[in-house]
Every structure is written in C-alpha cells, then in structure tokens.
Amino acid sequence: MKNPLFRNFTLALITCLIPLSKAFSQDDESIAAAPLLDEEVLPNYHYEYIPDFTYDEIDRRVKAMDHEMAFELNDRVFSFIQYFTVRNRDYTKMVLARKELFFPMFDEMMAKHEMPLEIKYLSIIESGLDPQIRSRVGAMGLWQFMPATGGMYGMKINSEVDDRMDPELSTEAAAKYLKSLYRMFGDWEVAMAAYNCGPGNVRKAIRRSGGKKTFWGIYNYLPRETRSYVPQVQAMLYILNHLEEHNFHPEDPTYVVEYEKIRFDRALSLDKLAELTNLCVADLKTLNPAIKNRKLPESNKSMALRIPRTKVPYIKENLAWLNDSLNNAPTILLASNMDVQSVEELAQEIKQNGTTYKVRSGDVLGSIARRHGVTVTQIKSWNNLSSNLIRVGQTLRINSGMSGNIATTQTNSSGQTTYTVQPGDSLWIISRKHEGLTVEQIKRLNNLNSNNIKPGQKLIIG
C-alpha cells in the first residue's frame, strides 16, 4: 500500500513543476494564433451590473409609490419587472431613449382629459414609443389604432397620410377612447384590458367570473394576451420610477424639437420646403410622421405642418417668396400662437413696409438681390452699407414695394405691354410689381401651364 501511495505523490509533484504557457480565451482567435508575448495579457470583461432584489424589497417600493391608478404587486407583475430589468434590459433602454419625446405631451393630454398620468405607460407596451410601428394585424402608431377605430375618432387614413402616426392626434384619440372605456367599466385596469381585447371580450369575462368587475377578478377569463398586458404596463410604471435602483442611466436620450405649426392649405413636397428653408428633410419627417411619402397631398391640404421653431421667423419674413417658390397660390395660414393671417394680407404689408432677411452661410448681396427681385445698390442704400461685405446672422431690410422701379416694361405697336423677366423673378413677384395683376392673369395671357419662368423671357402683362 505504501509504494503506490508514494508513486502517486511523486507523479503529482512532478506534474506541478511542469512550466505552463499563458492562457487565452478560445473566442479570441487573434491571440491564439499569435506568438506569445512577454507582456502579461489581462482579461477584459465587458459586463453590466444588474442589481437583484427580492419580492419583499420591490413590494415595499411599490407601496411607497404615489399613483392614482390601482397598483398592487403580485407574482405576475413581479415576473415582468424581473423580465424588463434583467432579461430584456435593451427594451427598457430603448424606451428610456425615447420617452422625453412623448411623455411631456402625454402628461398634458392626460391632465386635459382628467385621467391618471400612469395611463401613459400603456403606450410603452403598445408600441415601444415608436410612432410609425405597425403590428402584424394592421394596428399603427404610438397607441396601435386599427383603421376602423382610428376612423371613429376622426383620424384620416389613406395612401399618403395616416393620422394614427401623428403623436398628438393619436394620443388625443387614445385618451378619449380610454375615457369612454372607463365610463363603461368604472375601473382603469379593466379599461386598459378592454383597450387591448375590446369591450366585448371584457363583458364576456365579467359574465364568466360571476359578475366580478376588477382586472384580477376577471383575469382567468380574459384572452391570454390581455392577461399579460396590464401587468406589463404596471411593471413599466414601477421600473421608470425606480431607474437608479436597477442601474438604468439614459445615455443618449432624445428630446423633442421645439416647433410651431404652419398650415399651407395646399399640396406641397417636404423636400422642396426643406430646400427653400435650409431645413433637414429628416427633421421635417420626424416632426410630421403621419406624412407617408414626404408629400402633403391635396386631400389633406388643411393639415398643419410642424416646423422647427428656429426656422419660423425666417418663413414669416420670406413668406411671399417661399409661397410662390413652392408653386402654391398665396393662401398660407399660420397656425401658431399668433392670429391666423392670410398671405394676401402679409403681401400687402410687405409691399407697403418692406420685409427683412437674415443672412445665412453662403449668402452674398447678389444672390439676395436676385432672390427678392431688387438690385445690390438698392439693398446697400436701404441698409446704409458702404461695401458688399455682409455677415452671417445680419438682418437686412428689403423694400419689396420699391423693386418695381427696376422692371423692364415695354409697350409694343399693337398696344401690348410686356415685361422682361429679371434674375430672381417669379410670377408672384412680377404680379406684386404691377398693380391689379395676378399670377393667374399672367399665366392666362401667356398660355403658361406652370409657374416656371426664366430670366430674359418676355411676358405679356396687359
């Protein structure tokens, strides 16, 4: 017995004395294939600390929360809290990145309709706060309206515009619908269940439960999807009120762009509007997600467009020129905090008092003069400029009503009055230069099918 034991001990000692090479991860092929280096290779761990809490700890937090809607922790809600804080943290992070885009508006809408603010968390489960998401059955938007239900609440849905993707319109409709369901069932949890599966299924569940009227009372009689629906909403309500405890820190939150609304009352292209105003098409699309093909169609011409607030002064100052360049008749209406005013009224004001233009990057006096149908000399005179130097952000006065002095107007032997198109001219600018002349009259006199004209072209104006 002693000899085998001594032999085993000797073998173990020899094994321990064999020199070993440095270890490497099997996943790291580059290190495995490379010759061993003298420097020590330290492991590089990429992990995220995920706190773990007991049921009782979370229950104490839930009981300490201040909320209007009924909310008690149970095993079902606890399992979804674990799911969104441990197993699917990426979904929660996505929601955190988007919530500042919509939560302030949600709060205003819920307060307006006298509803619990916690209802806003329903949108997280419906859409993940994506206004353009579409379900497999055709539901659309932040609140996942089906076409028939959206139509009931006045939302227009066609091949070019879908109001279900409009954050404000869809949230207003969702608030009205949920309020009507609350009046029907007298319980906000049951109202949310009815929002998901329809009031008919909820009534059926109430009958099968023996007349119980709370969500947990009818829970076992609801469709399977709806049983998970309300607990997920409540799980998100808890999580977004206890982010730090679960090590959630929004890294790249997205904030809403401040905007004002402008109603053009005509069909237009977002690309053309962006080109004329130096706006980003992506910003216009983000602010107006209900427009499908980057074009506001004739069928929805009364729709108000959201314009970044930083560009609103420029649009107001150059309204007449922009309107004509968009190939629209001058009927733009401003739908903001100011009184609604037509372009004809603004045009008259511009003609009498002039307007202003803020210099942008790349501008020179020549391009500004052509754009407004005036001369460089006139701009320098109106602004007391001694040279052609201008700076970005500088405001220039443009006396549009005086620009008619430079027009080339002639009367031929047959009595026709003609006008030679100048650089920067448009049909609208020409009509402003000649009292009583309209764009439609110019087009009719010259057999024009569009508003396109070019410098040097002779137009009959009388």
Contacts of 151 (CB under 8 A, 6+ apart): 157
Query: Half-sphere exposure (CA, 13 Å, Cβ side) for 37?
Result: 10
Please give the torsion angle defined by the CA atoms of residues 343, 349, 354 and 360, in that order, rounded to the nearest 10 degrees.
Answer: -30
Handedness of CA 98, 101, 104, 110 (dihedral sign): negative
Residues in the chain: 462
C-alpha span between 50 and 60 (Å, rounded): 20
Provide the residue type at 452 as one letter. Answer: N
> Which is catalytic among the residues 40, 48, 72, 126?
126
Q: Is 276 within 8 Å of 322 (Cβ atoms)?
A: yes
Of 299, 321, 313, 311, the C-alpha closest to 274 is 311
C-alpha span between 237 and 117 (Å, rounded): 10
Number of H helices, E strands in the chain: 21, 10
**Bridge partners, residue 9, by sequence:** none
CA-to-CA dists, residue 216 to 119, 151, 226, 228, 402, angstroms:
18, 32, 12, 11, 75
As a whole number of Å, the CA-based R_g of the chain is 34
Per DSSP, 275 falls in state: H
C-alpha span between 322 and 72 (Å, rounded): 57
Active-site annotation holds for 126 = yes
Tokens for 412? 């031929």
As annotated, the active-site residues are: 126
